[in-house]
Amino acid sequence: MTQKMTSIGLMSGTSVDGLDVCCATFTRKDGKWSFHIDCARGYDYPQELRQKLGRDVQNMSAYEFVAFHSEYGRYLGQRVNEFMAEFGVKPDIIASHGSTVFHEPAKRIMYQIGDGAAIAAETGIPTVSDFRRLDIMLGGQGAPLVPVGDNLLFGEYDYCLNIGGFSNISWREGERRVAFDISPVNYVINRFARTVGLEMDRDGLMASKGHVDQALLRRLNALDYYSRPAPKSLGREWVEANVFPLLDGCGLSLEDLLRTYYEHCAVQLSKVTVPGRSLLVTGGGAYNKFLIERMRELSGCNIVVPETAIIEFKEALIFAFLGVLYMTNQVSCLSSVTGARQDNIGGMLFKIN
């Protein structure tokens, strides 16, 4: 029996610079999934929205928070309408990641802002959102969610690494998938690039001019998160409490600070990989030539940087896939990855008629 479904995935990362939209068709034949990216596009956030998502939302009153949750959901629905009109597509399902505002799984606290009901109302398309909540209530991290897609769609690679606001990795170990967040990456780098009026350290040019400060590198590598066993995940709260104080008080030039931080990211990758294995790299960090160079040098992995559509839209693609798994009643959240009591099918469905 062959199953086929077209889905739009929406992805907004921790760096809150914009929205990725990917429409793909997924086919299941003889128990194996394949995909075809039909069309994909990124949308930059307006400055006001970027500020709300990146800084203001955590300090809003309850009323303001609920109002913004709906407002952002409507915004997402409107972008999907533009996308469908531009590319002439109409999917069976929309799957929305939302934007992470709170992520403290030990306290059973998480929130993905961007109301799925508003998306469904704007588009008229059944919408699945809030993929993390059930897993958190089952005692899991609620993250990462992408590994189920790594397993079923990209299983030919030994490792799948995504470098966005945070780097996360997954691999197969026997019959189970192992995955976790490695370290903050662009969430930190972009914050310091903005201090000199840039949105990012393009190609790692600033970092490449600096020198590694060994004392700062030791302090970064000694942070307790890195010695914890998986499953584990990172959020903005941890970075702001642990990483920024070290960097803000280090007294280094911007170039030396970034160079040291790049080395930190590469060291942490090398601690969880085996030299000589194949490693697929996606996400915005795949374009950072100097960062990839340091990761290749320290990890010894055969790093594969795929075609542009996969680099930029793999996470949106996999969220589209999570929507398909939801609609076909198949596990989308792996307890081996998140630490939950059991595998689960995360998400909430909003459907008109």
Q: Are residues 339 and 303 in the same domain?
A: no
What is the CATH number for 273? Answer: 3.30.420.40
Q: Are residues 33 and 103 in the same domain?
A: yes
Quickly count: other Cβ atoms within 10 Å of residue 81's Cβ. 15
Q: Are residues 244 and 326 in the same domain?
A: no
Q: Are residues 108 and 214 in the same domain?
A: no
Residue 336: both structure tokens together: 């081996």
Q: Encode 234-244: b = buried (16+ Cβ within 10 Å), e = exposed.
A: bbbebbeeebe
Tens-digit pLDDT string for the chain (353 aa): 789 999 999 998 766 779 999 999 999 999 899 999 999 999 999 999 998 998 889 899 999 999 999 999 999 999 999 999 999 999 999 999 999 888 888 899 889 999 999 999 999 999 999 999 999 999 999 988 899 999 999 999 999 999 999 999 999 999 899 999 999 999 999 999 999 999 899 999 999 999 999 999 999 999 999 999 988 889 888 999 999 999 999 999 999 999 999 999 999 999 999 999 999 999 999 999 999 999 999 999 999 999 999 999 999 999 999 999 999 999 999 999 999 999 999 999 999 97
Burial of 205 from C-beta contacts in 10 A (0-12 / 13-18 / 19+): middle
Q: Are residues 158 and 133 in the same domain?
A: no
d(CA 71, CA 176) in angstroms, rounded, equals 39
The range of the structural domain enclosing residue 38 comes to: 2-143+316-350
Beta bridge partners of 39: 23
Q: Are residues 303 and 199 in the same domain?
A: yes
Q: Are residues 157 and 279 in the same domain?
A: yes
How many domains does one find in the chain?
A: 2
Q: Are residues 128 and 217 in the same domain?
A: no
pLDDT at 1: 74
SS (H, E, C) 153-185: HCCCCCEEEEECCEEEEEEEECCEEEEEEEEEC
Q: Are residues 136 and 155 in the same domain?
A: no
- Specify the pTM: 0.87
Burial of 271 from C-beta contacts in 10 A (0-12 / 13-18 / 19+): middle
Q: Are residues 104 and 154 in the same domain?
A: no
Q: Are residues 159 and 296 in the same domain?
A: yes
Q: Are residues 278 and 338 in the same domain?
A: no
d(CA 333, CA 24) in angstroms, rounded, equals 20
